[in-house]
Structures are given as structure tokens and as C-alpha cells.
Amino acid sequence: MSYTFSIEDLLRGDRRTMARAISSIENGDGNADAILSSVYRHTGNAYRVGITGPPGAGKSTLTNKLARWYRKRNVRVGILAVDPTSPFTGGALLGDRIRMTDVELDDGVFIRSMASRGSLGGLSKKTREAADVLDASGVDVILLETVGVGQSELDIAGAADSTIVVLVPESGDGIQAMKAGLMEIADFFVLNKADRPGAEQAVMSIKMILGFRPHDETTWLPDVLKTVGSEGKGVQEVGEMILKHRSHLEQNGGLRVRRRQRMKSRIEEIVQDQMKVEFWNAGRLQKLSDDLDSVIALQKTPYQVAKELINTL
């Protein structure tokens, strides 16, 4: 499918152009490079909010309610929902369908699921690029919602200006969340479904673990907010906490530091991806395939084969 990408259409926020541009990036089709190059210089205006947490914590509902809160303030919102695909049922498709019944769409909200198609490595890169498209199209806030608690998803959420970790009373005693690496990336926590039993203990437990964190007066201390996403309870406080964190980051220069660090990782990632593509040409893939039998037969070690491959550079 070929089409002509128009940066002007994107800049005026044409939804069809936004959708197509993100599809090009997701599929890595012929338009992707041109889109990315022309989009980048129009970025930097949107504030990026990562929303993550374990499956079933109610992130989608909370994200939708938060989008609605923004809309009341006339803020344009983009939502990127990272949704690992099941190859046999089409996870992202299903995810989209679930969302559609669940959210009130208006022209000021653009929602898109990013599917992994089995290669989460590239997903973090593609999600950032899709965020650039939304940024250039004029949205004010981008909500990066990641389903799952793995490192790749953490990378995506952590690539935001503010990161919210959503937990529920059932998430366990905070040690589970800590194990999942969620504690390190949270700018603040939301305990969702806070009308369920155990909510107070869960909040205490998260706060106790946060207490271990080294800090002084100038440090931002992550707080724990309680919400009932399905009823919209506490959503306003979440929105206000994002604003508070943003103004904290802007005042102490933290936003600049974060964006610089984020761009550094991003360039490293582009370099690594590109090297990988260039390295694995037909000849090297053939050598790898030929040598596999010797490795399986314990005649060569995987390290020898790797070294021989690198030496062909």
C-alpha cells in the first residue's frame, strides 16, 4: 500500500495522516524513514506521561479517565497503548475492541495500540517514534500506557517525562512491585481499585519501601495516590500530581536532564538496531547456520562461532 506522506497534513493534526504515519513506522515500510526525518524537528512540545503496572491493575480505565479529565481542560491528548500481540488471536486487535466500548472518543483524543508482533526489542524504539508523530501533530499530552511489567515495557514508560506506576491492593505487599522493577521508575504511584479490602495496607507497604530510598530536601519524593478508576475517583488528583511533577522538573532543570538522557539511549538504540541489520547479511546468516551443528555437537563453543563471525567485519 503506497501513499504520499504530507508533513503539512500531520502538523495540522489530520487524524488519517497520523494513523498512517504510525502504521508506516510500525511496519517499517518505505515511508518510515522519510516520515521520521521530517517529523523530528517538530517535536518537543508534548509532555509525555508513562503509565505502567502489572496486568489487571486497571491502567486502561485510568488512562481513559485521565484523558477525559484533560479534555475538560481543553488539552489535546494522544494515547499509545503498548500491547504485546498474541500471534494466534491478535492481542492488539482485541485490545482495541475492548477499548472502543470503554472510552468516549472525541476529536481531541487520538488512541493507538502499538503491537509487538513478537519483537519487543524494536517496540520501545517504535513507540518513541509514534510519540514523535503525535507530538508533531500538536497533541499537548501523550499517555504511554504499557501493559505488562517487563524490562521493555519499563523502558517505554521510563522514556516519559513523568512515570506513573499503577498498583492494586492485590498486587501484594510492595515487595512484588519492587521485584518487578517498578519502584525505580515511578515518579508517583496510583493505588487503583482503592475501594477494595487491603487498600490501606497496600499504601502503607508501598510507602514503607519508598522510605528506604535515599533522599534530601530537594529530591522529588514519590507519593501514593488512591483511585477508583471505574468511578473516576481520584483521577483529578492524578492529573494535578502530573502537573506538580512537571513544574518540579521544569524548575530544577530535571526535565532537560531527562530528555537528554532519553535522547542518548535512543540514539544508542538506533545505532544498535542498524548495526544488527547491516551485520546479519546472507553470508553471515549462512555461516551461523553452517556452524550450528558443530556447536550442538560440542565441537565448537558458541563463543568461538561468535568471534569468527565478528572477525568477518
| The amino acid at 40 | Y
CB of 106 to a second copy, least distance (A): 26
According to DSSP, residue 157 is labeled H
d(CA 269, CA 128): 11
Closer Cβ to a second copy, 57 or 225, answer by number: 57
- Give Cβ neighbours of residue 10 (< 8 Å, ≥ 6 apart): 17, 18, 21, 39, 133, 136, 137
Closer Cβ to a second copy, 100 or 267, answer by number: 267
For a second copy, which stretch binds (CB under 8 A), given 191-199, 221-229, 237-245, 265-273? 265-273
CB of 119 to a second copy, least distance (A): 9
> Does 280 participate in binding a second copy (rule CB under 8 A)?
yes
6 touching a second copy, by CB under 8 A: no
Among 139, 180, 224, 225, the residue binding a second copy under the rule CB under 8 A is 180
Of these, 276, 281, 286, 290, which contacts a second copy (CB under 8 A)? 276
> CB 109 → a second copy: shortest distance, Å?
22
Rule CB under 8 A: which of 216-255 touch a second copy?
none
Kindly identify the residues of this chain, within the stretch 77-96, that bind a second copy according to CB under 8 A: 83-84, 86-89, 91, 94-95
Q: Which of 19, 105, 221, 275 binds a second copy (CB under 8 A)?
A: 275
Task: Report the run of H or E that residue 188 belongs to, with start and end.
Answer: strand 188-191
Instruction: Using the structure block, give the residue that is written with the C-alpha cell 487491603.
Output: 198
Q: Which of 250, 252, 267, 286 binds a second copy (CB under 8 A)?
A: 267
Contact call for residue 196 and a second copy (CB under 8 A): no
Q: Which is nearer to a second copy, 240 or 274 (CB)?
A: 274
Q: How many residues bind a second copy (CB under 8 A)?
A: 81
Classified as helix, coil or strand, 210 is: helix
Window contacting a second copy (CB under 8 A); options: 2-10, 48-56, 188-196, 231-239: 48-56
Looking at beta carbons only, is 37 or 230 nearer to a second copy? Answer: 37
Q: Interaction with a second copy in 106-125: which residues (CB under 8 A)?
A: 116, 120-121
Which residues partner with 52 through β-bridges? Answer: 165
Cβ neighbors of 171 (< 8 A, separation 6 or more) are 53, 54, 57, 177, 202
Interface with a second copy in residues 197-216 (CB under 8 A): 209, 212-214
CA atoms within 13 A on the CB side of 120: 16
Q: Which H or E element spans position 71?
A: helix 59-72
Provide the Cα torsion 37, 42, 47, 49; round to 10°.
Answer: -20
Nearer to a second copy by C-beta: 3 or 280?
280
> CB of 139 within 8 A of CB of 44?
no
Q: What is the DSSP letter of 229?
A: G
Q: How many CA atoms lie within 13 A of 272 on its CB side?
A: 9
Decide if residue 97 touches a second copy (CB under 8 A): no
Rounded to a whole number of angstroms, the minimum distance from the CB of residue 71 to a second copy is 26
Which residue type occupies 121? G
CB atoms closer than 10 angstroms to residue 39:
22
Q: How far apart are CA 243 and CA 3, in angstroms?
A: 39
